[in-house]
Structure 1
Amino acid sequence: MRFYICEKREEVKPFKIGIIGAGPAGLAAAGYLACRGYEVHVYDKMPEGGGMVAFGIPEARIPIRAVREGVEALEQLGVQFHFRTKVVYDSPKELGDEWAEHFVSIEKLLSEFDALIIATGAWKPRKLKVPGIGLPGVYDALSLLHSIKMARIGYYSWERIPDLKGKHLVVIGAGYTAVDVAMEGRLLGAEKITMVYRRSLEHSYAKAEIRKLIAEGVEFIEHATPVRILGEEKVEGVEFAKTKIVGGNVVTTDEHFVIDADVVAYAIGQLPTSPIKEIVCASEKVLEEAGIFFAGDVVTPRNIGTAIREGRAVAERIEEWLLRKAPRRVFPVAMTGRLIAEVLSGKC
């Protein structure tokens, strides 16, 4: 898996760029900038590169070997990686933090680099807010997939992974993450898999993959949303309400039904995880003028191809900005800190 390809590196340029996050967007940006002759450093809390491609997507879909080859190609271009290192500003605890052995402040990086790219992805699952969500046997899909992938590539013991053999797995959602859970469920021996979606199959952007799963025996139920997880000491079922679409919106009806379940995984989206808790304000240009750029899922969760294209596009913007602003240091570190504070307080 190649994140960026060039025949040879251009002559060295007098600028250093720091990239926070070694997922597809960050790696694509690193490849472009390294090829153009810039000194590039990539920071990531995980033990190796690839981001969610390496640590969340099933091995059957994207093998870790392919990701590692892509990272090695970047190292040969001169990209310097700092793994098990989390960049912090006001970061909350997130999935994967257990791997971080070193912590560096974003203010320190701002003092060392001419520009920063924040490409930290979306490592926080969107929580399903219904009664019973805390029962044993209920998982958010992102954490479940992450654990399974970490076991498959040797970082986790299989004892940490839920036993799905002979079980009824109910998957809530119909995106690619839900598809991945269903796929792993089959590989791990689930006797029955039921996917439930609040809209119709035609509304799912993963409908082609879901049709394949249906052909392989996965049950798919349309127009239903969970209202309660059932069980005493562990999950025993899910109560759903039928839905209908009114004016493009999902409306819950009074018609309910129950599906028995041994394991439940909900895949209702991810939230961006940035070292700066609030990155959306009146104008992202405020931070760009301070040399801070954003790329990939940390802006809006998207697919791998889009993240790679955006990583390169942001790298091109940085190059134009560096050449236009050279010599750098138009915004001293203190000014940059104040700009960040304005973003956090909503003043920008």
Structure 2
Amino acid sequence: MGKVTGFLEFERLEEGYAPVEQRVKHYREFVIGLDADQAKIQGARCMDCGTPFCNNGCPVNNIIPDFNDLVFQGDWKNAITVLHSTNNFPEFTGRICPAPCEAACTLNVNDDPVGIKSIEHAIIDRAWAEGWVTPQPAAVKTGKKVAVVGSGPAGLAAAQQLARVGHSVTVFEKNSRIGGLLRYGIPDFKMEKSHIDRRVAQMEAEGVVFKTGVLVGAWPADSKVTNDAKTVVTPEALKADFDAVLLAGGAEQSRDLPVPGRDLDGVHFAMEFLPQQNKVNAGDKLKGQLRAEGKHVIVIGGGDTGSDCVGTSNRHGAASVTQFELLPQPPEQENKPLVWPYWPIKLRTSSSHEEGCEREFAIATKEFLGEKGKVKAVKTVRLEWKDGKMGEVPGSEQVLPADLVLLAMGFVSPVASILDSFGVEKDARGNAKAGVEIDGGYRTGVDKVFAAGDMRRGQSLVVWAIREGRQAARAVDEYLMGASTLPR
């Protein structure tokens, strides 16, 4: 694959970024992708591995060596065919996937891995530019009707697969636009929403029907999760109207931080903050938008959602941004012989961090301090690991100014009332209980009802959502037709 000696001749080339002083003034994408010649050289670095571990490192099992070689050979059209054979939406993963395939790359044992994500990004962007991404409507309709609840990556992948084998698919979305957390959780500067819109147009041409502003099942009145629903459909009505129902919503129950002062004004979940800016970018008019300009912002949580809060706060013009992480600062370089080909724990600095952010590790929040009902500071304590346990460091308490606190500590489960309204049994973590066995996989204990994506496996990556959607589509097709030609 690639050039036999390419990994010896060429170094890894990273995608570029627009300068910080320019990109923080807008919400558009700022990554500078590889051009055709650069992508060819990166494809040349892919070795003729006896066992390409990257294939298994990728949750959708992309056939990575093949499309790397095709790019090296200049056969871009076949490269997108290979890429689409396993991944419905490479423009999503090519932008926001953390690339576990690169961690598993054989070169990564003692060198820099092949830039697989950047090559994927280049392939799909060229495919759209050349007009190679076209609708693929089914030649024959089956007469079966499938309802997909949730329009995130799992729901979209399942809907497209099911439509292409001839089923009549309707996607129900509680918000006013399609995309789920792709639309409302991922900032536009990481992925512009036009990428979702043109996939929706493609899927509509393939026969998929989208219904927005429709809530299926019950929704808790006190939920702070985005919900624009104007219509409610009962699970009973859905099961009566459709031959199968796939629950593909997100894990939208945010992890809370029940410390004194939690009820102060100015302490919010990240998913109260991020969707608002995406809606404003889309042209919506919001009253009382959460804004960070001129404020000291504390982001609690060291993951991608926290990083997204950092980038958005910087674009608002925050006075300062500080991000907290409970765990100690990880090493800048992982112990490759120990962890390869698995996902390593190492210090990761995002583009948002580079735009301006203080990062505090091994720190916990003890209390939110306020004046007249508004948060003004955060009381913290340092942490240390001792005898395998995390404990507070005596005398390490401090108080940091905070006018806006964003809780970005992950998501614990789907909103329980949705599953309860369908009568779906939950696992120990509150997710829909449904196995992934080849026969009868993704089926819940309720007749006709399947579950996939974050609603089944819990908070995860966009690439896992796409995998789950594709596999669930096959399970639904087998259930309806007795057999399926869809890939597992």
Fold shared per TM-score above 0.5: yes
Residue 265 of structure 1 is matched in structure 2 by 406
Q: Which runs of 5+ in 1 are unaligned?
A: 327-348
Distance 1:317 1:250, change over 3 A: farther
Residue 241 of structure 1 is matched in structure 2 by 381
Once the two structures are superposed, residues 73-113 of structure 1 have per-residue CA deviations (whole angstroms, 9 ceiling, x without a partner) of 1111100111111111x442444565111111001111121
Quote how far apart the aligned CAs of 1:8 are: 4.0
Quote how far apart the aligned CAs of 1:228 are: 0.2
Distance 1:120 1:244, change over 3 A: same
Distance 1:298 1:156, change over 3 A: farther
Residue 295 of structure 1 is matched in structure 2 by 452
**Mean CA deviation greater in 229-238 or 172-181:** 229-238
Residue 128 of structure 1 is matched in structure 2 by 257
Distance 1:205 1:19, change over 3 A: farther
Quote how far apart the aligned CAs of 1:19 are: 0.7
Q: 412, 419, 431: which one pairs with 1:276? A: 419
Quote how far apart the aligned CAs of 1:197 are: 0.6
Quote how far apart the aligned CAs of 1:252 are: 3.4
Quote how far apart the aligned CAs of 1:9 are: 1.9
- Which structure shows the bigger proportion of residues in strand conformation? 1
Q: Does 1:174 align with 2:302?
A: yes
Is the 2:321–2:358 Cα contact (8 Å) retained in structure 1?
A: yes
Is the 1:179–1:206 Cα contact (8 Å) retained in structure 2?
A: no
Q: 196, 203, 206: which one pairs with 1:77? A: 206
Q: Which runs of 5+ in 2 are unaligned?
A: 1-86, 91-132, 332-343, 436-442
Structure number with larger C-alpha Rg: 2
Runs of 4+ in structure 1 off by over 6 angstroms are: 203-206
Aligned sequence identity (%): 29
**Mean CA deviation greater in 162-171 or 259-268:** 162-171
**Mean CA deviation greater in 114-123 or 241-250:** 241-250
Q: 437, 441, 465: which one pairs with 1:307? A: 465
Quote how far apart the aligned CAs of 1:213 are: 4.2
Residue 162 of structure 1 is matched in structure 2 by 290
Q: 200, 218, 232: which one pairs with 2:357? A: 218
TM-score where L is the length of structure 1: 0.85
RMSD of aligned alpha carbons: 2.6
CA distance in 1, matches of 2:465, 2:278: 21
Distance 1:155 1:317, change over 3 A: same
Aligned positions, number: 323
Question: Secondary structure of the residue that 1:160 maps to in structure 2?
Answer: coil
Is the 2:380–2:399 Cα contact (8 Å) retained in structure 1?
A: yes
CA distance in 1, matches of 2:231, 2:237: 13
CA distance in 2, matches of 1:130, 1:10: 58
Specify the code of the residue in structure 1 equivalent to 2:465.
A
Residue 321 of structure 1 is matched in structure 2 by 479
Specify the code of the residue in structure 1 equivalent to 2:323.
M
Residue 140 of structure 2 is matched in structure 1 by 11
Distance 1:156 1:244, change over 3 A: farther
Residue 337 of structure 1 is matched in structure 2 by none
Once the two structures are superposed, residues 26-72 of structure 1 have per-residue CA deviations (whole angstroms, 9 ceiling, x without a partner) of 01000000011111111111112101111121111111211111111
**Mean CA deviation greater in 271-280 or 101-110:** 271-280
Is the 2:308–2:352 Cα contact (8 Å) retained in structure 1?
A: no
Quote how far apart the aligned CAs of 1:272 are: 1.2
Specify the code of the residue in structure 2 equivalent to 1:161.
Q
Distance 1:127 1:162, change over 3 A: same
CA distance in 2, matches of 1:218, 1:2: 35
Residue 187 of structure 1 is matched in structure 2 by 315
Distance 1:201 1:315, change over 3 A: farther
User: 1:102-121 alignment to 2 at 5 Å?
Assistant: 102-121=231-250
CA distance in 2, matches of 1:143, 1:205: 29
